[in-house]
């Protein structure tokens, strides 16, 4: 199939490359000329495992092209997927990028006699596809929905595992405006993906996406609430508590005598809270949107407020443990919002750095992939020291905070001979280290939910 993708960020680029790898002819469009230039040459603009290898292969095979011309891309394809950003604005979701993309697609459709399906892949609040987007396309094209196809196909990939998730999805949700839209659009996935395909209405598809994110974010805030209770009582390790919960046979059933842990258990984890480009903005967006319909969601408010308090709790505890932060040397390990990505949007590490900023501490930091993006976000007056080889200076630190559980940090901190001269306090903010291994190495250690 010939597919165009409008917006070539994390979702657009991964989707485009993976669909080309599955045999489709893909044109990825972006308004940022630098992105278009780079990916045309097979260079990725984001860090994502396996993406560069796949991109190079599909560019070489001639199945993947990049362009800044939406009109041409729409005219030369059968399906257009909108994958532009939907940030949280002042009072709710900001649909301006969706509006611009839909208008351009509409204008192109006005000049195209053939049937074409428009798909919204971006995360948008319910009713956006079947009202907002439909009306823009209808008014710009002069056609009625039905003459063109319309679907909402939410994306569930996780950054850091995006290529694998896209190629092996758990489910494909297609919110179709009508039968023809569905029958045409399902060919994008047909024959390639071995998973349930759920056909629903566009607004149901939109709410499935939000509700999936809410569930996962809620589990994280639930775990952090239990951690706060454990810390205040003392003598309890929240990770043991959460493990104890996970053994409930309704959560992890036994198969051949062994407990099978569902993937969702990964979110039953106390740490430094959730970040990234999705959970925080999506929960706020659906919260504000449902208020417009007269319902004020309490559980979502609590999920967000527990999350926002998490880095404050870390900063306050650190200050208590070190008595004062004045002149103290701190090493933040990890800047991205999760491992195996360079994405620092809503990163808990950057939030923590902002909270430590006025405390007169010397803040050093390191990250295997996200330093360049962090430099764009943290203003120079903060005086953040970006360290190439953190191993070289780690023993000079007063505290080392593990903020993003990259494997290399976990390995370095928990394996090998007892480190000489390590007198710093190790604060495992993400609950990633094995406390017994750390204790055997004689390192001073605290962790979220362990006091
Ligand atoms: P992003 O900011 O990384 O990428 C968006 C891209 O769209 C940018 O490169 C921008 O230049 C381009 N763009 C904006 N307006 C355009 C226009 N009119 N024409 C052409 N290009 C345009 O965003 P993202 O993280 O890929 O997210 C995209 C959408 O997917 C969002 O709604 C997000 O919530 C959703 N989503 C994201 C993820 C994720 O893990 N990042 C997962 C699932 C869903």
The reported pLDDT for the residue numbered 354 is 95
CA max distance for the chain: 73
Is the predicted pLDDT of residue 252 greater than 90, yes or no?
Answer: no
Is 449 close to ligand 1, i.e. is its CB under 6 Å away? Answer: no
Q: What percent of the chain has pLDDT over 70?
A: 99
Is 280 close to ligand 1, i.e. is its CB under 6 Å away? Answer: no
Is 346 close to ligand 1, i.e. is its CB under 6 Å away? Answer: no
Nearest CA to ligand 1 atom 30: 122
The reported pLDDT for the residue numbered 205 is 98
Is 195 labeled as catalytic in the residue annotation? no
Nearest CA to ligand 1 atom 37: 11
pLDDT band at residue 176 under the 50/70/90 scheme: very high
Neighbours of 216 (CB within 10 A): 15
The reported pLDDT for the residue numbered 234 is 95
Is 10 close to ligand 1, i.e. is its CB under 6 Å away? Answer: yes
Is the predicted pLDDT of residue 421 greater than 90, yes or no?
Answer: no
Ligand 1 closest atom vs CA 11: 26
Q: What is the mean pLDDT of residues 27-54?
A: 97
Is 83 close to ligand 1, i.e. is its CB under 6 Å away? Answer: yes
Q: How far is the C-alpha of 64 from the C-alpha of 449, rounded, in Å?
A: 47
Among 197-201, 254-258, 411-415, 444-448, which stretch is predicted with the lowest mean pLDDT? 254-258
The reported pLDDT for the residue numbered 77 is 98
Is the predicted pLDDT of residue 412 greater than 80, yes or no?
Answer: yes
Among 64-78, 250-264, 331-345, which stretch is predicted with the lowest mean pLDDT? 250-264
The reported pLDDT for the residue numbered 273 is 98
Q: What is the mean pLDDT of residues 140-145?
A: 98
DSSP-assigned states of every residue in 228-275:
HHHHHH-S-BHHHHHHHHHTSTTTS-EETTEEPPPGGGGGS--SS---
Which residue is catalytic, options 18, 28, 119, 278? 278
Ligand 1 closest atom vs CA 12: 26
Q: How far is the C-alpha of 139 from the C-alpha of 103, rounded, in Å?
A: 9
Task: Look over the chain and give the mean of its residue pLDDT values, rounded to a whole number.
Answer: 96
Cα(425) to ligand 1 centroid in Å equals: 39
Is 7 close to ligand 1, i.e. is its CB under 6 Å away? Answer: yes
What is the reported pTM? 0.94
Ligand 1 closest atom vs CA 46: 3
Beta strands (DSSP E) in 321-448 are 329-333, 362-366, 385-386, 399-402, 425-428, 444-447
Ligand 1 closest atom vs CA 13: 26
Q: What is the mean pLDDT of residues 299-323?
A: 97
Nearest to 274 by CA among 207, 221, 231, 314: 221
Is 96 close to ligand 1, i.e. is its CB under 6 Å away? Answer: no
Q: What is the mean pLDDT of residues 175-195?
A: 93
Is the predicted pLDDT of residue 417 greater than 80, yes or no?
Answer: no
Nearest CA to ligand 1 atom 13: 7
Is 277 close to ligand 1, i.e. is its CB under 6 Å away? Answer: yes
Cα(446) to ligand 1 centroid in Å equals: 38
The reported pLDDT for the residue numbered 251 is 87
Is the predicted pLDDT of residue 31 greater than 80, yes or no?
Answer: yes
Nearest to 222 by CA among 317, 159, 126, 302: 302
Nearest CA to ligand 1 atom 12: 7
Name every residue whose Cβ is closer than 8 Å to that of residue 45 and which is 6 or more positions away in sequence. 8, 13, 34, 35, 38, 39
The reported pLDDT for the residue numbered 235 is 96
Rg (alpha carbons) of the chain, rounded to whole number: 24
> What is the residue whose two structure tokens read 């933040």?
332
């Amino acid at each position: 199939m010939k597919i165009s993708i409008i917006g070539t960020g994390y979702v657009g680029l991964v989707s485009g490359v993976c669909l080309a790898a599955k045999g489709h002819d893909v044109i990825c469009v972006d308004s940022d000329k630098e992105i278009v230039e780079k990916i045309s040459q097979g260079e990725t603009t984001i860090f994502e495992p396996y993406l560069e290898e796949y991109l190079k292969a599909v560019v070489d095979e001639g199945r993947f092209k990049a362009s800044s011309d939406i009109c041409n891309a729409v005219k030369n394809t059968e399906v257009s997927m909108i994958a532009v950003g939907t940030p949280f604005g002042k009072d709710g979701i900001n649909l301006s990028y969706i509006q611009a993309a839909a208008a351009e697609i509409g204008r192109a459709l006005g000049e195209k006699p053939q049937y074409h399906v428009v798909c919204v892949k971006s995360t948008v609040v319910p009713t956006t596809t079947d009202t907002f987007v439909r009306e823009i396309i209808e008014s710009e094209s002069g056609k009625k929905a039905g003459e063109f196809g319309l679907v909402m196909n939410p994306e569930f990939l996780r950054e850091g595992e995006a290529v694998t998730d896209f190629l092996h999805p758990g489910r494909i949700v297609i919110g179709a405006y009508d039968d023809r839209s569905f029958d045409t659009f399902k060919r994008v996935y047909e024959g390639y993906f071995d998973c349930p395909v759920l056909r629903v209405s566009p607004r149901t598809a939109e709410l499935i996406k939000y509700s999936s994110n809410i569930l996962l974010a809620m589990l994280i805030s639930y775990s952090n609430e239990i951690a706060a209770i454990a810390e205040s009582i003392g003598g309890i390790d929240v990770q043991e508590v959460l493990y104890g919960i996970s053994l409930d046979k309704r959560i992890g059933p036994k198969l051949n005598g062994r407990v099978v842990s569902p993937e969702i258990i990964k979110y039953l984890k106390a740490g430094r809270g959730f970040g990234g480009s999705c959970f925080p903005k999506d929960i706020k967006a659906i919260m504000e949107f449902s208020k417009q319909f007269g319902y004020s969601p309490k559980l979502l408010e609590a999920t967000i407020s527990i999350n926002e308090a998490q880095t404050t709790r870390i900063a306050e505890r650190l200050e208590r443990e070190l008595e004062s932060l004045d002149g103290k040397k701190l090493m933040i390990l990890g800047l991205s919002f999760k491992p195996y990505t360079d994405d620092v949007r809503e990163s808990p590490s950057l939030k923590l750095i902002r909270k430590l900023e006025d405390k007169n501490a010397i803040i050093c930091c390191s990250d295997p992939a996200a330093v360049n993006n962090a430099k764009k976000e943290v203003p120079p007056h903060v005086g953040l020291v970006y360290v190439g080889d953190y191993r070289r200076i780690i023993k000079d630190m007063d505290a080392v905070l593990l903020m993003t559980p990259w494997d290399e940090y976990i390995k370095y901190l928990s394996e090998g001979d007892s480190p000489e001269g390590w007198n710093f306090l190790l604060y495992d903010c993400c609950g990633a280290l094995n406390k017994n291994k750390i204790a055997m190495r004689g390192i001073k250690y605290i962790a979220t939910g362990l006091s």
